[in-house]
């Protein structure tokens, strides 16, 4: 499954808002430096969907395309 994600780093809380079937807005506590926010994003999505997660597009952008699939 391919999903589009808008990331809000450096937020007060960590949460996921579903906008549509394949679009999410995700709030992360980590700052967007040294790949910390991306690692937190992957960990959060892996925990939420219980599947392997990989960033396909947008590693340095707030708008990302992520592939979710395969069992852990």
pTM of the complete model: 0.91
Neighbours of 66 (CB within 10 A): 22
Per-residue model confidence as pLDDT tens digits over 5-46:
999 999 999 999 999 999 999 999 999 999 999 999 999 999
Distance of CA 64 to the CA centre of its chain: 8
φ, ψ for residue 34, nearest 5 deg: 55, 35
Domain ranges in the chain are 2-71
Q: Which of 55, 9, 49, 1 has its CA nearest to residue 28? A: 9
Q: Which CATH fold topology does 2-71 show?
A: Conserved Hypothetical Protein Mth637; Chain: A; (3.30.1200)
């Amino acid at each position: 499954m391919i999903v589009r994600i808008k990331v809000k780093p450096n937020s007060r809380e960590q949460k996921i808002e579903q906008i549509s079937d394949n679009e999410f807005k995700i709030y992360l506590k980590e700052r967007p430096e040294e790949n910390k926010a991306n690692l937190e994003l992957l960990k959060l999505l892996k925990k939420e969907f219980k599947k392997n997660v990989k960033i396909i597009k947008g590693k340095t952008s707030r708008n990302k395309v992520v592939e979710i699939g395969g069992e852990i």
